[in-house]
Structure 1
C-alpha cells in the first residue's frame, strides 16, 4: 500500500501499489480517475460530480448508487448498509457517507449476469457544490472467472476502508 495521487495530486489516498491507471489503456473522462486491479475485474472509480438534490446524506449516497445501477443496466440492485464516518483529522475533507450494496450486471452483451459488490463513499463538498464519489466495484461471481472469492473480496473491502478513510482533498481548487 502507498499514497496514490489522484487528479494531479489534488486528492491523495492510500491504495495498493499494483493498481493500473486505466487512462494508460483507454480514454477516461477528466472528471474521473479509474484504477484497475491487475489480477481481477475489480476496479476503483473516483468521480467529481455536481452535487445532487437530496440534502439528506443517506438519500444522496443512495441516489448515486441508483444512478450507477442505471448506468450499469443492473438487472437487480440492493443497498445493504449506509454509514457515516466523521473526519477528525481537521484537514477540511468532508465526512464519509459509506454505502455497501450489490448489483447484478450483464456485461459485454453476454447472457450471464455478474454479481458485483458495490462499495461507495460520498464526500459532499458543499462549499463547491460537488459530490466526490469513490466506488469500488468488486465482482464476486462472473462467467469469465474474474470474480473474487470470499477471501479476495474481504481484502478489497479492507482496502476500500483504508482508501476512503485516508482520502484527503489537498487542493479544493480542483472543484473550481
Structure 2
C-alpha cells in the first residue's frame, strides 16, 4: 500500500499515512479539534486530536490517562495496557518526542453480548508551552461482529502504518495551538 504525506488541520501538521485513507469529514461531521480517517477495507480508524494538556507531568501517567479516557468514552468493559515507550524526535524540527502506548479494549457494540476486541495504538505529543496534548489513536478491531475485523497480517500492516505516522509527524505551524 502506498503512503503519502497527509496535511492535517489545514497543513499545520503533516504525517505519512496510507494514500487510500478516507477522510471521515467527507462522510460525517468531525469536531474542529479532530482529524479522523478510515481504512476503506476494514473498520480501522485513525483519530488525531488536539486536547488540553492533562495534569500528570510525567509522560507515562499522561498517556495512560488518555488511554483510560478513551476506554471510558468507548464504554469499554476492560482496558489493558501492553506497552509504553518513548520515541525521541529524530526529525530535527521542534516537535516533541512521541510517547506511545499499545493496549487492548473490550468494547461493546450495538448492545451485543460479546464485545469487540480493539487493539489501540496511541501516541502522545506533549506541547508544554502551548498547554496541549496532541493524541494520535489507531483503533484496530481484532474480532468484530461485522466484517471490519483485521487479521494478524493486517494488524502488522497497521502497526507499520502507525510507526510511520508517528515518526514522520511534523508540527509545521505551532500557531494552530493558540
TM superposition score normalised by structure 1: 0.98
CA contact (8 A) 2:14 2:170 kept: yes
Task: State how far apart, in whole Å, the 1-side matches of 2:151 and 2:168 are.
Answer: 26
1:112, distance to aligned residue in structure 2 (A) = 2.6
Tell me which residue corresponds to 1:49.
51
1:109, distance to aligned residue in structure 2 (A) = 2.4
1:145, distance to aligned residue in structure 2 (A) = 2.3
1:68 pairs with one of 59, 67, 70: 70
Point out 4+ residue stretches in structure 1 off by more than 3 angstroms: none
SS of equivalent residue, structure 1 residue 110: coil
Aligned length: 176
1:146, distance to aligned residue in structure 2 (A) = 1.0
Task: State how far apart, in whole Å, the 2-side matches of 1:142 and 1:9 are.
Answer: 34
Tell me which residue corresponds to 1:27.
29
Tell me which residue corresponds to 2:144.
142
Tell me which residue corresponds to 1:16.
18
Tell me which residue corresponds to 2:169.
167
Q: Which moved more, 1:141-150 or 1:49-58?
A: 141-150
Tell me which residue corresponds to 2:39.
37
Task: For structure 2, list consecutive stretches of 5 or more residues without a partner in the other structure.
Answer: none
2:88 pairs with one of 82, 86, 96: 86
Task: State how far apart, in whole Å, the 2-side matches of 1:155 and 1:90 are.
Answer: 27
The two structures, once aligned, show a CA RMSD in angstroms of 0.7
Alignment of 1:74-153 (within 5 A): 74-153=76-155
Q: Deviations over 1:45-99 (max 9, x none)?
A: 0000000000010000000000000000000110000000100222101000000
1:157 equivalenced with 2:174 (yes/no): no
